[in-house]
Amino acid sequence: MLTEHDLRRLDALYQSLEQATERFLGYPVSKDFETGPLERFLRFPLNNLGDPFVDSTFAVGTRELEREVVGFVADLLRAPPGDVWGYVTNGGTEGNLYGLYLARELLPRGIVYFSEDTHYSVAKNIHFLGLRSITIRSQANGEMDYEDLAETLRINRDKPAIIFANIGTTMTEARDDIGTIKGLLNRFAIREHYIHSDAALCGGFAPFLDPRPAFDFADGADSVSISGHKFFGSPIPCGVVIARKRHVERIARSIGYIGSLDTTITGSRNGFTPLVLWYRIKSLGVEGLRERARSALELAAYALKRMTDAGIAAWRNPQALTVVFPKVSDALKARWQLATQGEQSHLIVMPNVTRTQIDALVDDMIAERASAGEPGMATTSHSIQKQGCA
């Protein structure tokens, strides 16, 4: 039994989480999931240890549903039937580590190329794996600078290339184009190459965009990582990594103790999050996901318009949920949990964000500017807009 004091602490924590969740606009996390029908499963020590496609002696798990999640996501990502494998990870970071691990096993002499806008965890993963890497410049909108990549590949054309592509960078949701990158690999006749797509946020909705970004298996990716708690939505961080099966077969080891294959990064694996993703996918379906993307993008366009109408130099990449604007004050940053890096802050219009919240945020921004004596109509001629971003 807990003491009165500890019970009160739990109540206070619950209330503060309720409030914090209400004003949460700066990070790519969906809050509109439903877990009621799944809560009864929390009484089991669910653990999907080992390979989801090979049954284990440890039977308290959700591997069958995990396989369905992998199959659903693999189809969205146009993975080649018969040459596809994947599992539910602890998040986008683990999926990225997995993609780079496969790349290293296939191309141990390879150099990893990634843009300077890449998520902070990637440099650490590369360090773990002892891989050589080169950072490529980014364009102003956050997308990889293909001229810099071309020049760097040309100098290193005698070495295998491991491309780490961003399909939605953390700050500006810029998408690197795998089609353009493949063109460069061909131009320099770099036949030994591996392409990993970090589609942490966008992987859940990029398949529904028109034009569809070049990022998946049909475009030439060897592995793709997506976060589950971002676009899909989950109360527990999770993700899905999909890879070409023939690559995974290179690393598989049979482990007698678990009666399964050691193909994943961790031993014990969360058995509850595959259930959450399965429930999400089953209840939304492809059409539900498509509609989620459409309405969130429409609201992102509304947020941008409201800001630019108010004279705020805001902008967004084409078909992005992220609206970027000049750095806000510490007070606004804390009030709306707005991620800020350098001179930029951003709002991410995740599917659960409402028009009322956007109006309230923009009103706060206007009020703050007015009290700071800033002119009502600032310029909107941000360099990004000159480059034709929406």
Window of 78-86, 133-141, 196-204, 266-274 that interacts with ligand PLP by CB under 6 A: 196-204
* Cα dihedral 210/211/214/215 (nearest 10): -20
> In terms of CB distance, is 56 or 93 closer to ligand PLP?
93
The full DSSP string for 190-221 is: --SEEEEEE-TTGGGTGGG-SSPPS-SGGGT-
Among 26, 52, 86, 91, binds ligand PLP (CB under 6 A): 91
How does DSSP classify residue 245?
Answer: H
Q: Which of residues 310-329 bind ligand PLP (CB under 6 A)?
A: none
Determine the Cα–Cα distance for residues 254 and 46; give it in Å rounded to an integer: 22
- Per-residue x/- track, 99-138, ligand PLP (CB under 6 A): --------------------x-x-----------------
Minimum gap (Å) between residue 198 Cβ and ligand PLP: 5
Window of 124-132, 137-145, 193-201, 210-218 that interacts with ligand PLP by CB under 6 A: 193-201
Residue 50 binds to ligand PLP (criterion: CB under 6 A): no
Residue 169 binds to ligand PLP (criterion: CB under 6 A): yes
Cβ(268)–Cβ(49) below 8 Å: yes
Minimum gap (Å) between residue 172 Cβ and ligand PLP: 10
Size of the site for ligand PLP (CB under 6 A): 17
The full DSSP string for 20-84 is: HHHS--SS--------GGGGGGGGS--B--S-TTS--S--SS-HHHHHHHHHHHHHHTTPPTTSE
One-letter amino acid identity for 220? Answer: G
Exposed (0-12), middle (13-18) or buried (19+): which is 8, by Cβ within 10 Å? Answer: exposed
> In terms of CB distance, is 341 or 383 closer to ligand PLP?
341
Among 49, 181, 200, 296, binds ligand PLP (CB under 6 A): 200
Window of 149-157, 168-176, 274-282, 381-389 that interacts with ligand PLP by CB under 6 A: 168-176
Exposed (0-12), middle (13-18) or buried (19+): which is 311, by Cβ within 10 Å? Answer: middle
Determine the Cα–Cα distance for residues 248 and 75; give it in Å rounded to an integer: 18
Closest CB to ligand PLP belongs to which residue?
92
Q: Which of residues 236-265 bind ligand PLP (CB under 6 A)?
A: 237, 239
Q: Which of residues 209-238 bind ligand PLP (CB under 6 A)?
A: 227, 237
Residue 198 binds to ligand PLP (criterion: CB under 6 A): yes
Q: Which residues pair with 41 in a beta bridge?
A: none
- Contact footprint for ligand PLP (CB under 6 A): 28, 91-93, 96, 119, 121, 166, 168-170, 198, 200-201, 227, 237, 239
